[in-house]
Amino acid sequence: MANIALSEAEKIFILHGVEEDFRVDGRSCRDYRPMELETELVNNASGSARLRLANTDVLVGIKTEIDKPSIQFPEPNAAPEFEGRGGEELALELADTLANAYESSLAFDLKDLCILAGQQCWKLYVDILILECGGNLFDAVSLAAKAALYNTKIPRVTSALMDAGEADLIISDDPHDCTRIKIDHIPILVTVCKIGDCCVVDPSAEEEECSTASIVVAVSRRDDSTFISHTHTLGNGSLHKDTVFNCLKLGVPVAEQLNEALMKTLILEESVLGMQKNRSVGFLK
């Protein structure tokens, strides 16, 4: 996806390293590159997060508004101005993959956004900005989106009544009086890349150039059970059924570890910085 030109000698060198479980950057086939996560960066958004995965840099912002509920699951949109060769197709592919992964009620329960059944609900806009692509874009986007949803603050509706067939809502004007979205079951995407006869996670841009096919696995947890909410294949090649099984066998436990590490980080950040962010400053209290 990063469109890096490699010579045949460089591809063979990467392939041999993967076969020996010692990749070019020293990682094993199951290891991720270092990550940096920041939240609440965009002031005019209800929630936001920025994730840096080595050279991949992603910013996610979430906005909320009140709308009438729809029978259909929300359709994903992608900006046609997405730059780069094949950028528009990549943007649509990212949006479709996330929408399909979130579509299951076991992964994301839309009832949490309900205000008045059949009348009013909260509508979320998830805007994803790709600042830099250095490989493994799907995983980075899913982690940043889940982190942004975690710190999304929805104004509390203090009163919801029906008046002459129209919904009459009273929303709290206190910026700290808000509700949060439950993200416990929101899936995480793990890209398992096939290089030669081996499967690796978190492929770099160079490793993606050495692969003809990859599989993106959306993994979620509910009631102490792990399940796959969606799978998506990347690349022009095909995958044997045994390879698909090996990819799933590798991707699911890796997703569990990623989700655990992400939740610990978000909870730790909130506990350390939460009081400072909510502290009243000045004479207007």
Mean pLDDT computed over every residue of the chain: 85
Instruction: Report the alpha-carbon distance of residue 146 to residue 127 in Å, rounded.
Output: 12
Instruction: Report the alpha-carbon distance of residue 17 to residue 14 in Å, rounded.
Output: 5
- CA distances 53 to 15, 94, 136, 185, 204, Å, are 22, 17, 8, 23, 10
Q: Is residue 89 part of a domain?
A: yes
Question: Which residue intervals of 105-221 are DSSP H helices?
Answer: 137-150, 205-209
Q: Which amino acid belongs to residue 6?
A: L
Q: Specify the pLDDT at position 66.
A: 87
Instruction: Report the alpha-carbon distance of residue 25 to residue 5 in Å, rounded.
Output: 18
Residue-wise pLDDT tens for the chain (285 aa)? Answer: 556 788 899 999 999 999 999 999 999 999 999 999 999 889 889 999 999 999 999 999 999 998 888 766 655 555 554 555 456 788 888 989 999 998 877 788 888 888 888 888 889 999 999 999 898 999 999 999 999 999 999 988 877 676 666 777 778 777 778 888 888 889 999 999 999 999 999 999 999 999 989 999 999 988 888 889 999 999 888 899 999 999 999 999 999 999 999 999 999 888 877 655 555 444 444
Q: Residue 161, class by beta-carbon neighbours within 10 Å (0-12 exposed, 13-18 middle, 19+ buried)?
A: exposed
Instruction: Report the alpha-carbon distance of residue 164 to residue 183 in Å, rounded.
Output: 36
Tokens 């799978």 belong to which residue? 231
Instruction: Report the alpha-carbon distance of residue 112 to residue 133 in Å, rounded.
Output: 33
- 153 forms beta bridges with 180
Q: What are phi and psi of 273, to 5 degrees?
A: -105, -10
Q: Is residue 281 part of a domain?
A: no
Q: Is residue 285 part of a domain?
A: no
Q: Is residue 168 part of a domain?
A: yes
**CATH assignment at residue 243:** 3.30.230.70
What range defines the domain where residue 46 resides?
8-275
Q: Specify the pLDDT at position 72.
A: 62
- 132 forms beta bridges with 57
Share of the chain above pLDDT 70, in %: 86
Q: Which amino acid belongs to residue 101?
A: A
Q: Specify the pLDDT at position 281.
A: 47
Instruction: Report the alpha-carbon distance of residue 98 to residue 94 in Å, rounded.
Output: 6
- CA distances 36 to 25, 72, 272, Å, are 18, 36, 17
Helices 137-150 and 241-277 sit at what angle, rounded to 10 degrees?
Answer: 40
- 237 forms beta bridges with none
Instruction: Report the alpha-carbon distance of residue 180 to residue 235 in Å, rounded.
Output: 37
The set of residues, in sequence order, having a beta carbon less than 8 Å from that of 177 and lying 6+ positions away, is 155, 156
Q: Specify the pLDDT at position 285.
A: 42
User: CB neighbours (10 Å) of residue 231?
Assistant: 19
Instruction: Report the alpha-carbon distance of residue 165 to residue 178 in Å, rounded.
Output: 27
Q: Is residue 59 part of a domain?
A: yes
Q: Please state the domain count of the chain.
A: 1
From its phi and psi, is residue 196 left (phi > 0), alpha (psi between -120 and 50) or beta? left
Q: Is residue 40 part of a domain?
A: yes
Q: Which amino acid belongs to residue 44?
A: N
Q: Which two tokens stand for residue 142?
A: 């899913």
